[in-house]
Structure 1
Amino acid sequence: MHHANHFYGHAHIMARYVGLAEPPRIWGYLQHGWNMHDGFAVGTVFAEGYPKFVWSQACSRRGWAAGLRDYMVVGSPWLYLLELERQREWLAAAPPRLGTIVYPFHGWEGQQVVGSHAAYVEQVRATEGDVPITVCLHWNEYDNPKVRREYEDAGVRVITHGQRGYLWQDTDVAFLYRQLHEIRSHRRVVSNRMSSAILYAASAGADVGIYGDPMELEADHAVLGGVGKPRRLWPRLHQVEAPRDHASDVALTELGAGTVLLPEEVIDAFGWGPEIAVPGPPPPAPSLEQPSGRGRHPSRPQAGSHRGPADAEPTIDLGVVVTSAGDVAPLDAASSDEPDRASRSSHEPSPGRARGGSSDPAMTDAVTAD
C-alpha cells in the first residue's frame, strides 16, 4: 500500500464507507489531492500493472496523454465522506452558518510558499468585513511560528485540521472530518488559490471566493499550471464572491461526483475481498477533538496501522510492499481483478461507475480541458 493512500485519512474514509474500522492495503495508487496534472505528485514512480485511482475524468485523460495507463476514476474520498456524514440531510435542515474561513495557499516539506501572510490576512479582513474570521493553516505553515504569528497578530482565530501524515506515520484520520465541521460552520470559504479546500467547500454548500495575493511556491512545476491555468479555465471562480451554482458545478465535476462507487464496488476495486466479502454498516466516525499542542507530533487521533514494522525507520521503495507479517515482497505483479475491469483499465480511460450523476466525458471537457 503506497503511503500516500493514507494522506488526510483517505484510506480510513474509504474503509469506513464499506464497514471497516481500519483500511486493508489498497492495491493501487489513490489520488490524495486535487491537481491539474495526472492526479499524482510530479515524479511519482508507479509499479506496472497496478491501478491508479483518480478523482476525475480530467486526471485520467491527462495521465493517458502523458503515456500512463491503468486508470480508474472513483471520485474523491471527500465525496465518500459527505455520503457517510449525510450531507444532503444536513443541507436540507438549513443550519445556521456564520463568518468566513480562510485556507491560505500552502507549501509542504519540499517546497515552501513565498509571500506576505500579514498583507494577505489584512486584505481578507478588509474584504470580509465585520464577521468572525477563521484562518486554517496547513500543518506545514501552522508548525512555523513566524507564519502562524502573522495570522494570530491580526486577531483572527487560527487553527489547523491536523497532520497529513507521511510514510505511514502521524496520519490524522480525523483531518477531513474536522474540515467538514468547519466548512459547515462558516457561511463563506475563501482562498488565494484554486485548491482542494475551495472545491470541498463548494461541494458542501458554502459560498466561496478566490482572491488576494496568490503567493509563489518555491521551484514550482510548470506542468501543474501555476497561477495562470486555473484562472484561464475558471475565471468566474476567481473573484470575491463566486456564483454558487457555478462553483458547485465545477467542484462536483473536479471531485468526480458522477463516478462515486457503491461500497461493494470499492471492495472489488481496491482488492479488499479477502478482508470483507459484503459491506457492513459504517463504524463510528473519529473524534473531532482538536490537536492539543503544536509541533510535528501533537496528541490527536492517529492510525496505529501507519507505523512501520517493528517501528523501524521508514524508507521509500516504490517497488516493494510490506506484508502484514512485516516481510518485504516485490511489487511485480498486478492483483487479481475481474476481467472486465482489468481490460478497461489496460485499454481505455475508465468512465467510472456513475451513481446519481453523469460520467459523460464531455461534461468534464467543458471545465477541465487542457
Structure 2
Amino acid sequence: MYSMGAIYREFLGLKLPKILPNSFHYEHGWYSSENAIITDIDIYQSLMFVMSERRKKIYEEELRKLNIEREVIVTGSPFFMYRKIKKIEKSKYANGSVVFPCHSTKEIEVDYNIENFCESLDRLPNEFKPCVICLHWCDYNNKNVLEKYKSLGYKVVTAGFPNRSNNFKFVKNYYDILSNAKYTLSNEIGTYTFYSVEMGIPFSLINKGEVTHHNKGDLNLSNWNIFDKFKASEISLIMEEAERIFYGINYEVSSEQRQFVELEMGSNEQNMLNKYQLRKIVLKSYKDINYYKLIKKIILKIKNKIKYISNKLRR
C-alpha cells in the first residue's frame, strides 16, 4: 500500500520483475496499538518490516506465542527513505496549512462534526491560512464529506488511491501536497503527523477527542467488537503521549516532538541496518516464502477481480 513496496525495492536496489512478489511484508503506517496487526501475522512473506523498536518487540512476542519463525526488522519509514532519495524539501514558497482530517477506511468509519472542525480552522492565526483539506481516498469518495468541505469554502485535494504498492504515484502526490505547506494540522494523531515533523513542518493537533471511530468489521481491532465505538486515546498509552506532545497550535517543531518521531518511525538511522545489509537479507529470504499461502492469495485476488468485473458488467 501507499507506494511502499516500490519504495523498498528502489531503496534496496532490487532489480526484480514487478510480477515477482516481495519476500517482505511491512507496516503501512504508524500504529499506536500495543498489539500486532492480525493481518500482518498470517502472511506468506518470510520477513516483517516495522518502523520502530517498540513495534518490533510487539511482533516478536506475538510470533513467539504462535510458534511462527519470522525475522522482524526495524527499517524506519519507507516514506522517509523516498524523501531522502528524491531530495524532497519544503518549498521555499510554502504557505498556509495542509489539514489532514482523521480518515475512514473500508472497515472503520470516523465520525466528527465537520462544521465545528472548520470553525476551529477559521479561528486559526492568519499565518496558518489558507487551509487546504487533504482527504484520504475513502473520504474523498464519500460525497457527504467531500461536498461538506467544499460548501464551507475549502479547497480539497487527495494523494489518490492508496492500494497500490508497486509504483510511486501515491507517495509522489503526497509529497507534492505536503512540501507546499508551512504548517499541518489534524483532529487526530496519524502517520501524517510524523511525515510532517520529519520534513521540518510543524504539526498541530486541534479539536482533540471529538472524533469517534465506528468499527464496521476490522478484525485487527482486537479490543473492540464489530460496531463498537471508540476514541483514539483509548487505543494505548503511546497515543495519549502523542496527543500531549502535539496538542495545541505549534509554530515550530520542538526537540521533544522530533525525538518522539525518531523513536516511533525510525528516523534515527544509527540503530538500523544499512541498505546493503538489508538487501542481502531480502534476497536470501525468497527461499523461505510460504508459496502455498502466496498461491492462495493470488487465486483470491483473481476471484475478486472477476467478481468486480462481473458486477460492473451487470450495471
Change (3 A) 1:158 1:28: same
Q: What are the within-5 Å matches in structure 2 for residues 197-346 of structure 1?
A: 197-213=192-208, 214-219=210-215, 221=221, 226-228=232-234, 229-230=237-238, 232-234=240-242, 235-241=244-250, 244=253, 245-257=255-267, 258=269, 259=271, 261-271=273-283, 320-322=293-295
**Paired amino acid for 1:195:** G
Q: Encode CA deviations 1:76-99: one digit per residue, 9 max, x unaligned.
A: 111211221224xx46xx723200
The alpha-carbon deviation at position 193 of structure 1 amounts to: 1.1
The one-letter code matched in structure 2 to 1:150 is K
Where do 5+ consecutive residues of structure 2 fail to align?
65-69, 225-230, 301-315
Structure 1 unaligned blocks of 5 or more = 1-6, 275-316, 329-370
Secondary structure at the aligned position of 1:97 is classed as coil
Aligned residue for 1:82?
83
Query: AA paired with 2:204?
Result: G
- State whether residues 55 and 256 of structure 1, in contact with CA within 8 Å, keep that contact through their aligned partners in structure 2: yes
Q: Which residue in 2 is equivalent to 1:134?
A: 132
What residue number does 1:11 align with? 5
Using the TM superposition, give the Cα deviation of residue 192 of structure 1 relative to its aligned residue in structure 2, in angstroms: 1.1
Distance 2:293 2:27 in 1: 19
More helix by share: 2
Aligned to 1:351: none
How far is the alpha carbon of 1:129 from its aligned partner?
Answer: 3.7
Percent identity over paired residues:
15
Counterparts of residues 349-368 of structure 1 (less than 5 Å)? none
Contact 1:237 1:243 in 2 (8 A): no
Q: Conserved in 1, the CA contact under 8 Å of 2:41 and 2:63? A: no
* SS class of match (2:232): coil
CA distance in 2, matches of 1:136, 1:318: 39
Q: Which moved more, 1:49-58 or 1:194-203?
A: 49-58
Aligned to 2:101: 104
Partner of 1:144: 142
Q: Provide the C-alpha distance between the structure 2 equivalents of 1:242 and 1:61, rounded to a whole number of angstroms.
A: 34
| 1:138-166 C-alpha deviation (Å, 9 max, x unpaired) | 00100001110111112111011011117
* TM-fit CA distance, 1:66: 3.8
Q: Return closer, same or farther for 1:227/1:35 CA change in 2, 3 Å cut-off.
A: same
Aligned length: 271
- Distance in 2, Cα, partners of 1:70 & 1:263: 16
Map 1:47-126 → 2, pairs under 5 A: 47=43, 50-68=46-64, 70-87=71-88, 90=89, 95-126=92-123
- CA positional deviation for 1:47: 4.4
The 1:319–1:37 alpha-carbon spacing in structure 2 relative to 1, beyond 3 Å, is: farther
Q: How far apart, in 1, do the equivalents of 2:202 and 2:152 lie?
A: 23
Shift of 1:10: 0.3
Question: 1:112 is matched by which residue type in structure 2?
Answer: E
User: In structure 2, do the counterparts of structure 1 residues 319 and 254 end up closer, same or farther at CA, with 3 Å as the change threshold?
Assistant: farther
Which deviates the most, 47-56 or 107-116? 47-56
TM-score (norm 1): 0.64
How far the C-alpha of 1:196 sits from its partner, in A, is: 0.4
**C-alpha distance 65-321 of structure 1, shift in aligned 2 (>3 A):** closer
Q: Tell me, in whole angstroms, the C-alpha distance in 2 between the residues paired with 1:249 and 1:125.
A: 31
Aligned counterpart, 1:190: 185
Asked whether the 8 Å contact 1:39–1:60 carries over to 2, the reply is no
Q: CA RMSD in A?
A: 3.3
Whole-angstrom CA distance in 2 between matches of 1:101 and 1:190: 7
| Letter of the structure 1 residue corresponding to residue 183 of structure 2 | R
* Preserved contact between residue 16 and residue 22 of structure 1 (Cα < 8 Å): no
Q: What SS class does the counterpart of residue 29 from structure 1 fall into? A: strand
Which residue in 1 is equivalent to 2:310? none
CA contact (8 A) 1:37 1:223 kept: no
Q: Amino acid of the residue matched to residue 36 of structure 1?
A: S
3-state SS, counterpart of residue 124 of structure 2: helix
